[in-house]
């Protein structure tokens, strides 16, 4: 029986289609900015992907790489894939989704700072790793950057730290731009004060509708994860920036040093929340796109608002689960942090669990529109569930003696980052690029090949890594012990399929850019294709 609580939208009017659009000039500038980020981050993916392939080929003894070069490649791959591709892409697409829900960029200064500082930072990271040999891994666990065993100099560590700092500046600029955009007039607070705008931005309008009123009826749900992520990443980047500044100082002053445990805590105060730099904008993009394909509003209410408030607070108090195994004798603070941060990490399951419920309820018995974009999104959502279950295991201190620093962890974060956020990114490209480019995709069937090749190839590869991890295979080993070689070889077969699928995607994209004459952005929004 139909009710009116969350009505399906009228035929032809999809969720958020009623959002007020900004002036054509703002739309055009936003389109150019977002496209620039998409192309740049995709170029970073190409480089990071090739580097990742080299890593696994070396482990499979298919190719040879110098030991330190392997670790330098590992460092560049980690930062390149996580921050420069996935993080950067989602930072860019944020502004497109926000505009589509009626919150256009209010100033382009901060997004431009975001873009250029990320590009400069990535260039610095590439130079210091691949050319100057910095191979401290993407977490560069202090004091390793200053104990390279003769492989790189302290000065290289300093330049590397400045480069990562630039990526941090990019994240800070992004967070500031998102908050500046969200806490603006777009949410149409009835009483237009900063307090009302802030309240609406963080979901208080859903919890207390009589106190936080808006002329829009209900605030667009994608705003919640975007805004929560902006606050959390702003706060989480600051201690990390402090660590990087310390490293820059030490690179020019050998007498300076910091406590090892403090450095670890500063690192992970950023190093875990940065996962949500990807996951929360991904959740927001699901919130935007899934209702459009399902043809009804997101099925959500107060519970989702509560979940995002939990995320807002708990996200900043989970870092110590990366340090579960650092519990020195007599150092009770670290042990206490570990005890506290298992339940706080569990609390972060709620935003995911409730989001997955909302998305499932939105899809349930809907007249769902199946196309390449929506199939990618569905595959990403299922991966969100699968990788989330792995995350609960990883958050459990008692399991760490078996899992910590094994390939299980590597398999998990590739499952989450590539098979959830990565598939969302491809889905967003299939969904948004037709409108952004003004032309539809060249070939739907090639898109399906891309999907199946990516899903089968990537799941085969990460499953091999996770089994190896459960068998005790150490992570970050250029050469794995003999006992793990069979699964490494099998995973290379799956990686070959994954690479082939990306080549199909590249061909489809290239052909689309060169040949597709389709020029109907409105229709193309739903993933229009030529053939």
Nearest-approach distance from CB 262 to another protein, in angstroms: 11
d(CA 513, CA 367): 31
d(CA 437, CA 506): 16
Does residue number 321 form part of the binding site for another protein (CB under 8 A)? no
Region 170-199 residues binding another protein, contact defined as CB under 8 A: none
Region 399-418 residues binding another protein, contact defined as CB under 8 A: 399-406
Does residue number 215 form part of the binding site for another protein (CB under 8 A)? no
DSSP per-residue letters across 35-59 = HHHHHHHHHHHHHHHHHHHHHHHHH
Task: Please pick, from the candidates 19, 261, 309, 496, the single residue that binds another protein as defined by CB under 8 A.
Answer: 261
DSSP per-residue letters across 265-334 = HHHHHHHTHHHHHHHHHHHHHHHHHHHHHHTB-----HHHHHHHHHHHHHGGG-GGGGGTT---TT-HHH
Nearest-approach distance from CB 16 to another protein, in angstroms: 17
Rounded to 5 degrees, what angle do the CA atoms 195, 198, 200 make?
110
Task: Please pick, from the candidates 331, 445, 486, 506, the single residue that binds another protein as defined by CB under 8 A.
Answer: 331
Residue 76 or 381: which CB sits closer to another protein?
A: 381
User: Do 124 and 166 touch, CB atoms closer than 8 A?
Assistant: yes
Does residue number 218 form part of the binding site for another protein (CB under 8 A)? no
Residue 42 or 148: which CB sits closer to another protein?
A: 148
Region 344-383 residues binding another protein, contact defined as CB under 8 A: 346, 349-350, 353-354, 357-358, 360-361, 363-368, 370, 378, 381-382
Region 429-468 residues binding another protein, contact defined as CB under 8 A: 467
Span from 121-129, 186-194, 205-213, 470-478 in contact with another protein (CB under 8 A): 470-478
Task: Please pick, from the candidates 200, 224, 282, 397, the single residue that binds another protein as defined by CB under 8 A.
Answer: 397
d(CA 495, CA 53): 8
d(CA 116, CA 166): 9
Strand partners, 406: 474
Instruction: Find how far residue 401's CA is from the centre of its chain.
Output: 28
What contacts 32, CB < 8 A, 6 or more positions away?
none
Does residue number 307 form part of the binding site for another protein (CB under 8 A)? yes
Does residue number 7 form part of the binding site for another protein (CB under 8 A)? yes
Virtual torsion, Cα 400, 318, 119, 160, nearest 10 deg: -60
d(CA 69, CA 21): 50
d(CA 129, CA 54): 15
Token code pair at residue 381: 């959502």
Q: Is 406 helix (H, G, I), strand (E, B) or coil?
A: strand
Nearest-approach distance from CB 335 to another protein, in angstroms: 4
Nearest-approach distance from CB 195 to another protein, in angstroms: 27
Does residue number 105 form part of the binding site for another protein (CB under 8 A)? no
Task: Please pick, from the candidates 470, 485, 490, 496, the single residue that binds another protein as defined by CB under 8 A.
Answer: 470
Rounded to 5 degrees, what angle do the CA atoms 220, 197, 99 make?
40
Span from 82-90, 113-121, 393-401, 422-430 in contact with another protein (CB under 8 A): 393-401
Task: Please pick, from the candidates 35, 144, 238, 262, the single residue that binds another protein as defined by CB under 8 A.
Answer: 144
Does residue number 253 form part of the binding site for another protein (CB under 8 A)? no
DSSP label at residue 212: S
Sign of the torsion angle spanned by Cα atoms 10, 355, 94, 410: negative
d(CA 177, CA 155): 33
Task: Please pick, from the candidates 60, 93, 223, 480, the single residue that binds another protein as defined by CB under 8 A.
Answer: 480
Does residue number 8 form part of the binding site for another protein (CB under 8 A)? yes
Region 275-304 residues binding another protein, contact defined as CB under 8 A: 294-296, 299-304
Residue 107 or 483: which CB sits closer to another protein?
A: 483
Residue 189 or 263: which CB sits closer to another protein?
A: 263
d(CA 508, CA 499): 14
What contacts 346, CB < 8 A, 6 or more positions away?
392, 395
Does residue number 343 form part of the binding site for another protein (CB under 8 A)? yes
User: Do 89 and 279 touch, CB atoms closer than 8 A?
Assistant: no
Does residue number 67 form part of the binding site for another protein (CB under 8 A)? yes
Residue 211 or 302: which CB sits closer to another protein?
A: 302
Helix (H) or strand (E) holding 456: helix 444-470
Does residue number 2 form part of the binding site for another protein (CB under 8 A)? yes
Nearest-approach distance from CB 530 to another protein, in angstroms: 25
Task: Please pick, from the candidates 338, 422, 427, 440, the single residue that binds another protein as defined by CB under 8 A.
Answer: 338
Residue 104 or 203: which CB sits closer to another protein?
A: 203
Applying CB under 8 A, the site for another protein has a residue count of: 95
Task: Please pick, from the candidates 208, 452, 477, 510, the single residue that binds another protein as defined by CB under 8 A.
Answer: 477
Residue 2 or 23: which CB sits closer to another protein?
A: 2
d(CA 308, CA 352): 9
User: Do 405 and 331 touch, CB atoms closer than 8 A?
Assistant: no
Nearest-approach distance from CB 453 to another protein, in angstroms: 20
Residue 141 or 503: which CB sits closer to another protein?
A: 141
Helix (H) or strand (E) holding 493: helix 485-515
Task: Please pick, from the candidates 1, 10, 24, 194, the single residue that binds another protein as defined by CB under 8 A.
Answer: 1
Span from 85-93, 194-202, 220-228, 343-351 in contact with another protein (CB under 8 A): 343-351
Does residue number 500 form part of the binding site for another protein (CB under 8 A)? no
């Amino acid at each position: 029986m139909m009710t009116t609580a969350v009505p399906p939208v009228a035929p032809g009017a999809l969720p958020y289609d009623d959002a007020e659009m900004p002036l054509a000039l703002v739309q055009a500038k936003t389109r150019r900015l977002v496209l620039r980020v998409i192309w740049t981050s995709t170029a970073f993916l190409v480089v990071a992907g090739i580097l990742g392939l080299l890593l696994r080929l070396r482990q499979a003894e298919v190719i040879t790489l110098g030991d330190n070069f392997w670790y330098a490649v590992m460092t560049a791959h980690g930062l390149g894939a996580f921050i420069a591709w996935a993080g950067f892409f989602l930072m860019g697409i944020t502004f497109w989704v926000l505009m589509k829900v009626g919150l256009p960029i209010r100033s382009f200064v901060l997004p431009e700072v975001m873009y250029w500082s990320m590009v400069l930072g990535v260039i610095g990271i590439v130079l210091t790793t691949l050319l100057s040999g910095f191979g401290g891994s993407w977490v560069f666990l202090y004091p390793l950057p200053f104990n390279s065993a003769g492989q790189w100099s302290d000065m290289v560590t300093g330049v590397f730290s400045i480069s990562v700092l630039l990526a941090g500046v990019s994240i800070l600029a992004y967070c500031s731009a998102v908050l500046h955009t969200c806490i603006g007039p777009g949410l149409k607070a009835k009483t237009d004060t900063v307090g009302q705008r802030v309240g609406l931005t963080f979901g208080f309008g859903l919890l207390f509708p009589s106190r936080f009123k808006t002329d829009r009826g209900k605030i667009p749900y994608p705003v919640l994860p975007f805004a929560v992520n902006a606050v959390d990443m702003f706060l989480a980047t600051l201690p990390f920036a402090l660590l990087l500044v310390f490293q820059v100082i030490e690179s020019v002053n050998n007498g300076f040093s910091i406590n090892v445990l403090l450095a670890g805590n500063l690192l992970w105060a950023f190093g875990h929340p940065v996962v949500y730099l990807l996951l929360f904008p991904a959740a927001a993009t699901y919130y935007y796109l899934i209702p459009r394909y399902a043809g009804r509003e997101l099925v959500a209410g107060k519970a989702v608002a509560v979940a995002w408030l939990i995320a807002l607070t708990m996200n900043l108090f989970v870092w110590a689960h990366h340090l579960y195994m650092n519990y020195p004798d007599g150092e009770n603070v670290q042990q206490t942090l570990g005890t506290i941060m298992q339940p706080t990490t569990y609390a972060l399951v709620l935003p995911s669990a409730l989001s997955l419920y909302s998305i499932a309820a939105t899809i349930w018995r809907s007249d769902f529109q199946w196309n390449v974009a929506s199939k990618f999104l569905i595959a990403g959502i299922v991966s969100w569930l699968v990788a989330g279950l792995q995350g609960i295991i990883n958050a459990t201190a008692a399991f760490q003696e078996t899992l910590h620093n094994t390939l299980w962890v590597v398999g998990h974060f590739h499952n989450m980052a590539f098979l959830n956020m990565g598939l969302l990114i491809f889905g967003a490209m299939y969904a948004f690029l037709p409108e952004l480019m003004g032309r539809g995709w060249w070939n739907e069937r090639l898109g399906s090949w891309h999907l199946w090749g990516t899903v089968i190839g990537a799941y085969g590869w990460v499953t091999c890594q996770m089994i190896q991890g459960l068998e005790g295979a150490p992570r970050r080993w250029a050469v794995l012990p003999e006992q793990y070689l069979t699964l490494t070889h099998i995973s290379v077969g799956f990686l070959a399929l994954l690479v082939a699928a990306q080549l199909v995607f590249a061909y489809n994209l290239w052909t689309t850019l060169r040949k597709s004459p389709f020029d109907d952005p409105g229709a193309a929004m739903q993933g229009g294709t030529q053939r």
